[in-house]
Amino acid sequence: MKKAQLTLILSDGTTRAVDITEDETILGRENCDITIDDLKVSRRHAIIGVHGSAVTIRDLESRNGTYVNGHKITEGVLTSNDHVAIGNTRLVVRTTDRKPHPVDFTEETLKIDATKLKLDGEINEKNLDDLKRATKDLAAIYRSSMKISSLLAPSEFFNAAMDIIMNELPPVDCCSIHVEDEGGKELTCKAMCFRDPESFTDAPAFSKTIIDSVMTDMNAVLIYDAMNDCRFENARSVAGLAIRSSMCVPLRGPKQIIGIIQANTLNPKNRFTRDDLRLLTAIGSQIGTALENSLLYERLEKEKKALRTANDKLTKIQNSLIQSEKLAAVGQLTAGIVHDIKNPMTVIAGHAKIVKSLLEMENITEIDGLNVIESLNEVSSAISHCNDIISNLLQFSKGSPPEKVPSSINSMVKSVLDFLRHELRKKMIAFESDFDPSIPDVQTDANQIKQVLLNIIINAIQAVHEHGKISVITTLIQESEDVVFAAIRVRDDGQGMSEEVRKKIFDPFFTTKEAASGKCGGSGLGLSMSYGIVESHGGRIDVWSEQGKGSEFTILLPAPSEAGQYYATTSTVTDLRKIFRKPVNE
């Protein structure tokens, strides 16, 4: 009757199955029940015994020893699928399945006479130890699950995994975690640690040979004595790190193995057990599932961010094209009608001037109670305003390209501010400025940029009340390694704009300046022209505004890329939010 079966894996790779039919079966090289042709196997090497359902193995003082699952033994109990190594030969144990006899669970069979129940004290103590270990492991698995579930970023998992292993497995002296790259071609060590920090060196805290073994078999590995295990006797990493016992388990995600955890003990007195391996496997399964989900979440976040960035760029390009089309359409319309409007306006202005002169010669100021001189002055003022609009339209329709030469941003800003200083004083506006001396000369058409500054600063003056505040700041902004802008920021503390108005301020003919007290409002072309000028220079105008808090216009003009290396602290848009409080040098 077959009691067990051995599968012999010989040194040349061939295999053969041998049935165990006797209570004791001797393994050896000569005159044995199972003869093995292997010079490293002793003449009488080991004996396998079958006692009821138990299968045991005992070494017969062989020269090279007997190993079970990598652990050198003198005697031990074998279970199904255990690996036995003698010499260069490997044996895999298969115990015979025994079907239990059916039991009729009647009331009579369930009665137990306590007086006849005799329990062996040694067995009970072992069961109690097993129960304590199982309870301890369940608590460890629960603690690790609670800690892992609170993590989201993949980078957090690696150090957390090290802490969990060190805390829940006291025999571990060093451990490491390895994760496959996106291509799944190789493993990368993401974290490693030693229980004793003084033991840490530049050398890795893991054995690549053991890791490769797990990746090949896709199963957890428990090594009782790594230094004497024939599977790793030539591994330099094992000898170099002086690994005594080792566990290596795969990180299993929901779909695939995504990495490896290796835990080692360097103390000769410590050995990992199967219970330790089961606990590490359970923790590794938790970490693997959570880590794969986290990696998927991170990948989705990156894709969402890339889509948002692409969408923002597309929106900016679309808005720029729409604005350019508006400007082009207005330019074409203006070129066709501006001359037809200008000629009648010139005639009206001439006749108004003649009538005013005649009335003044006759000392006539009123007719039927109407002050005709004042009315004629209002006509002349309105005609002058219309002529300004016509001049702007003519300039707008020409769309002449800028004549760029190296120009000083700071000098242009100071020139415009000197020109407007009287207006600032007249409204008693507190004026603040700060000029960055590191800004190099920028390729610009100085007259066009001055026109942009005039439009924006005059708008700021008109937006603030008396005793209001306007600040003008110049600085460098390095948006990327190769993109540097010279920035001119104009900020006021006026009423600000709504989001709806802010979106329309660069549209041709859009204006918020209403006619009041007989005065004409704005033409709505100043900011449109400014937008076109700055765009023709390869720059842009950024606008921030909030009702009740004021507005901020930032003119960004391309600066030489090498300017960034002279700028010690890279500015950002947030930096420009600072309000400088330095007095004006008059």
* CATH at residue 35: 2.60.200.20
Bridge-based pairing of strands 75-78 and 83-86 is unpaired
The whole-number pLDDT of residue 329 equals 65
Statement to judge: residues 84 and 138 lie in one domain: no
Residue 554 lies in a domain: yes
Statement to judge: residues 292 and 156 lie in one domain: yes
Percent of the chain surpassing pLDDT 70: 74
Cα Rg of the chain, angstroms: 44
Could you report the per-residue pLDDT of 238-259, keeping only the tens digit for each? 656 677 788 888 887 666 778 8
Statement to judge: residues 157 and 240 lie in one domain: yes
Percent of the chain surpassing pLDDT 90: 12
Asked if pLDDT for residue 515 goes beyond 60, the answer is no
Q: Grade residue 572 by pLDDT with cuts at 50, 70 and 90.
A: very low
Residue 340 lies in a domain: no
Could you report the per-residue pLDDT of 365-376, keeping only the tens digit for each? 888 778 888 888
Note the pTM of the prediction, 2 decimals: 0.39
Which token pair is 563? Answer: 């300017």
The whole-number pLDDT of residue 544 equals 93
Q: Grade residue 110 by pLDDT with cuts at 50, 70 and 90.
A: very low
Q: Grade residue 109 by pLDDT with cuts at 50, 70 and 90.
A: very low
Question: Could you give the C-alpha distances from 288 to 172, 264, 276, 567, in angstroms and in order?
Answer: 20, 19, 18, 46
The whole-number pLDDT of residue 413 equals 92
Q: Are 54 and 77 in contact (CB under 8 A)?
A: yes
Q: Are 557 and 444 in contact (CB under 8 A)?
A: yes
The whole-number pLDDT of residue 358 equals 87
Furthest-apart CA atoms within the chain: distance in Å: 151
Asked if pLDDT for residue 11 goes beyond 50, the answer is yes
Asked if pLDDT for residue 124 goes beyond 80, the answer is no
Residue 149 lies in a domain: yes
The whole-number pLDDT of residue 327 equals 61
Higher pLDDT, 34 or 100: 34
Q: Grade residue 302 by pLDDT with cuts at 50, 70 and 90.
A: confident
The whole-number pLDDT of residue 254 equals 65
Q: 444-477 burial, b if ≥16 CB within 10 A, otherwise e? A: bbbebbbbbbebbbebbbebbeeebbbbbbbbbb
Question: Could you give the C-alpha distances from 516 to 421, 450, 513, 519, 520, in angstroms and in order?
Answer: 25, 28, 9, 5, 7
Higher pLDDT, 242 or 470: 470
Higher pLDDT, 556 or 260: 556
Residue 311 lies in a domain: no
- Of 339, 341, 427, the closest CA to residue 383 belongs to 341
Residue 393 lies in a domain: no
Tell me the average pLDDT across 171-176.
86
Burial label, 487 (beta-carbon count in 10 A; 0-12, 13-18, 19+): buried
Question: Could you give the C-alpha distances from 209 to 206, 215, 466, 515, in angstroms and in order?
Answer: 9, 10, 80, 85
Quote the number of domains for the chain.
Answer: 3
Statement to judge: residues 160 and 236 lie in one domain: yes
What range defines the domain where residue 555 resides? Answer: 405-563
Statement to judge: residues 87 and 182 lie in one domain: no
Q: What is the CATH number of the domain that holds 484?
A: 3.30.565.10
Statement to judge: residues 44 and 133 lie in one domain: no
Phi, psi of 5 (to 5 degrees): -140, 140
> How far is 478 from 485, CA to CA, in rounded Å?
6
The whole-number pLDDT of residue 161 equals 83
Statement to judge: residues 90 and 44 lie in one domain: yes
- Of 552, 512, 553, 497, the closest CA to residue 530 belongs to 553
Could you report the per-residue pLDDT of 472-481, keeping only the tens digit for each? 999 999 887 7
Could you report the per-residue pLDDT of 186-232, keeping only the tens digit for each? 778 888 888 876 655 555 667 776 777 666 667 777 877 766 666 66
DSSP output for 91-154:
EEEEEPP-PPPP----TTTT---GGG----HHHHHHHHHHHHHHHHHHHHHHHHHHHHHT--SH
Residue 183 lies in a domain: yes
Asked if pLDDT for residue 489 goes beyond 90, the answer is yes
Q: Are 199 and 231 in contact (CB under 8 A)?
A: no
Statement to judge: residues 142 and 192 lie in one domain: yes
Torsion of CA 237, 241, 245, 249, to 10 degrees: -60
Identity (one letter) of the amino acid at 562?
A: E
Residue 369 lies in a domain: no
Could you report the per-residue pLDDT of 525-536, keeping only the tens digit for each? 778 888 888 988
> How far is 281 from 283, CA to CA, in rounded Å?
5
Could you report the per-residue pLDDT of 138-169, keeping only the tens digit for each? 888 888 888 887 776 777 778 888 888 888 88
Residue at a domain's end among 268, 299, 330: 299
Q: 281-319 burial, b if ≥16 CB within 10 A, otherwise e? A: bbbbbbbbbbbbebbeeeeeeeeeeeeeeeeeeeeeeee
> How far is 87 from 64, CA to CA, in rounded Å?
6
Q: What is the CATH number of the domain that holds 138?
A: 3.30.450.40
User: What is the helix (H) or strand (E) element at residue 397, kind and residue range?
Assistant: helix 372-398
The whole-number pLDDT of residue 328 equals 65
Tell me the average pLDDT across 486-513.
85
Bridge-based pairing of strands 54-59 and 75-78 is antiparallel
Tell me the average pLDDT across 346-360.
86
Statement to judge: residues 158 and 59 lie in one domain: no
A 10 A CB-CB count for 388 gives 14
> How far is 386 from 395, CA to CA, in rounded Å?
14
Mean of the per-residue pLDDT values for the chain?
77
- Which residues have a Cβ under 8 Å from the Cβ of 359 and sit 6 or more positions away? 365, 372, 373, 376
Q: Grade residue 558 by pLDDT with cuts at 50, 70 and 90.
A: very high
Torsion of CA 460, 464, 466, 468, to 10 degrees: -90
Identity (one letter) of the amino acid at 96?
A: T
Q: Grade residue 4 by pLDDT with cuts at 50, 70 and 90.
A: confident
Statement to judge: residues 475 and 429 lie in one domain: yes
Residue at a domain's end among 80, 96, 112: 96
> How far is 316 from 542, CA to CA, in rounded Å?
12
> Which region among 95-109, 299-313, 413-427, 489-503 has the lowest average model confidence (pLDDT)?
95-109
Highest mean pLDDT among 116-125, 209-218, 569-578: 209-218
Residue 349 lies in a domain: no
Statement to judge: residues 81 and 163 lie in one domain: no
> How far is 251 from 289, CA to CA, in rounded Å?
8
Q: Are 261 and 165 in contact (CB under 8 A)?
A: yes
Q: Grade residue 3 by pLDDT with cuts at 50, 70 and 90.
A: low
Q: Grade residue 575 by pLDDT with cuts at 50, 70 and 90.
A: very low
3-state secondary structure of 490: strand
Higher pLDDT, 560 or 242: 560
Q: Grade residue 125 by pLDDT with cuts at 50, 70 and 90.
A: low
Torsion of CA 148, 150, 155, 160, to 10 degrees: -40
3-state secondary structure of 58: strand
Residue at a domain's end among 267, 299, 331: 299
Statement to judge: residues 65 and 204 lie in one domain: no
Higher pLDDT, 383 or 41: 41
Could you report the per-residue pLDDT of 388-446, keeping only the tens digit for each? 767 766 665 565 677 889 999 999 999 888 888 888 888 888 889 999 998 999 999 88
DSSP-assigned letter for residue 402 = P
Q: In what order do the strands lie in the sheet with 89-95?
A: 15-20, 4-9, 89-95, 83-86, 66-68, 71-73
For helices 446-463 and 526-536, angle between their N-to-C axes, nearest 10 degrees: 140
